[in-house]
Amino acid sequence: MVPPVRFNPQAWLAEARALIGAAHVLSADRGDDLSACTRDWRNKFEGPALAVLRPADAGEVQSLVRLAARTGVAIVPQGGNTGMCGASVPTAGGPQAILQLGRLDRILEIDPGNNTATVEAGCILQTLQEQAAAAGRLFPLSLGAEGSCQIGGNIATNAGGVQVLRYGNMRDLVLGLEVVLPDGERLDLLRGLRKDNTGYDLKQLFIGAEGTLGIITAATVKLFPAPGAEVVAFAGMSSIGQAVRLLGAMRARLGERFTAFELMSGEAVELVRSHFPGTPAPLEGRWPWHVLMEATDGGSDEALREAMQAALMACLEDGCLEDVVLAGSLAQGQALWALRENITHAQQMDGGNIKHDISLPISRIPAFVEQMLPRLLQAFPGARPIVYGHLGDGNLHFNVSAPAGIAPAAWQRETDAVNQLIHDAVAEMRGSISAEHGIGQLKRHEMALYKTPAELEVMRRIKQALDPQGLMNPGKVL
């Protein structure tokens, strides 16, 4: 990226303000506090912003992108800024403007007949879930940040969450997109079709691209019939091998009704209980591993409960689990989910946390975990593994907290060494170093280590073809 020879920030800001209104172009020089936008959710990455731009619609996004392309200013698309890899904040070098999608928050259409919703990119995930429910439909993407993350951010990160087992990740849920390209042109792919084989499927390029190829301004997504019944269970077991057997047995018995299968180590549960006093222990004993399971159905709660209970009893007899509790009410089910979703917050409060987001063939996960835990402790005595995640999808957050008494900053300095140990083992088993959070700034150098030269070259050619000036979210992914 080459900054313009005589770049004049004041003139640039004046032009941006003329395009979308002074109130919607925030800048530090006039006293606006930009810190909530220039720093990422984990407080790991921070970069200076020439401005925070808040356009009202796709037309304003186009005008701003054209201004940026003409003047050599980089654009950092930002949704709810809940991403885990520092992809939504500026990097050092060259003038960069954050383009926030929050004002593009309209739900344009809910089409129950087609089971689709068309929404602007800045729509909060929870808002879409609620509006779909009001129309008797389900939008199934669900994750701990759903109260603040945006559909555009979910698409740009190909978000996963806790219902991928049944409904797939964001890539599986998107039918159409509208994108503003790095030269300001608007690409209209906003169709609600489940079948369309007319050449390359261009929308897939922008899903998971972390804003490096263009700005998503709207999307058409799949909806499903709203489930009438919901049952939540929480099980304890001694080994992760049992948890994997449990997954197979429950899916065999419940089929498509089985929607979530979330793993939590004993340490993860204890961490939540220590940071969120009052969190009840769901089971009497302490278990090395726990699984939170959910089944949903169009039928009655009673019938689903009976089916779940019968399946769990058979699993208890088969030894896939050793203790289990079935939530007796909606509130109990919500409390079990809170235990799971609060792990992220508990780790954030705990400080000194090296995060991983790996995926492996599910069948290989027990061997991976059983080999990796002792190797980790041998290499980093006292390290505290906090393992949890979407076991049903083969996706683990194999996180490692600082040994007691080690300051967070000192532990962060071990990041590369810890990552190498874990990610080399993942690569040996043909897994991925990022199952759902993406690459961003955090894993950019690591992606270069684990992808083949041919994969990287194709990615670079795509980037060059769409963004020859390198102005779209520079310093991320590639």
For the chain, the 3-state helix, strand and coil shares in percent, each to the nearest 5, are: 40, 20, 40
Give the Cα separation of 128 and 142 in Å (integer).
11
Among 215, 269, 295, 321, binds ligand FAD (CB under 6 A): 215
Per-residue binding string, ligand MLT, 106-145, x by CB under 6 A, is --------------------------------------x-
Q: Residue 383's binding partner, choosing from ligand MLT, ligand FAD, none, with beta-carbon cut-off 5 to 8 A by kind?
A: none
Residue range at the interface with ligand FAD (CB under 6 A); choices 18-26, 137-145, 324-332, 412-420: 137-145
Q: How many residues bind ligand FAD (CB under 6 A)?
A: 36
Residue 128 near residue 114 (C-beta atoms within 8 A): no
3-state DSSP assignment of residue 239: coil
Q: CB nearer to ligand MLT: give 177 or 293.
A: 293
The packing angle between helices 415-428 and 365-379, to 10°, is 150
Q: CB nearer to ligand MLT: give 107 or 362.
A: 362
Contacts (CB under 6 A) with ligand FAD, residues 304-363: 344
Q: CB nearer to ligand FAD: give 174 or 229.
A: 174
Residue closest to 399 by CA, chosen among 341, 447, 336, 352: 352
φ, ψ for residue 221, nearest 5 deg: -120, 160
Per-residue binding string, ligand MLT, 384-423, x by CB under 6 A, is -----x-------x--------------------------
Shortest Cβ distance from residue 397 to ligand FAD (Å)?
A: 9
Length of the chain: 478
Per-residue binding string, ligand FAD, 175-214, x by CB under 6 A, is -----------------------------------xx---
Give the Cα separation of 312 and 250 in Å (integer).
8
Residue 60 near residue 104 (C-beta atoms within 8 A): no
Shortest Cβ distance from residue 173 to ligand MLT (Å)?
A: 17
Q: CB nearer to ligand MLT: give 12 or 289.
A: 289
CB count within 10 Å of CB 409 equals 10
Shortest Cβ distance from residue 101 to ligand FAD (Å)?
A: 4
Shortest Cβ distance from residue 159 to ligand FAD (Å)?
A: 4
Q: What is the DSSP letter of 226?
A: P
Cα 193 to the center of its chain, rounded Å: 25
- What residue type is assigned to position 94 of the chain? G
DSSP assignments along 247-283, one per residue:
HHHHHHHHGGGEEEEEEEEHHHHHHHHHHSTTPPPSS
Binding positions for ligand MLT, rule: CB under 6 A: 144, 343-344, 389, 397
Binding positions for ligand FAD, rule: CB under 6 A: 41, 76-84, 87-88, 101, 121, 143-145, 149-150, 152-154, 156-157, 159-161, 210-211, 215-216, 344, 436-437, 473, 476
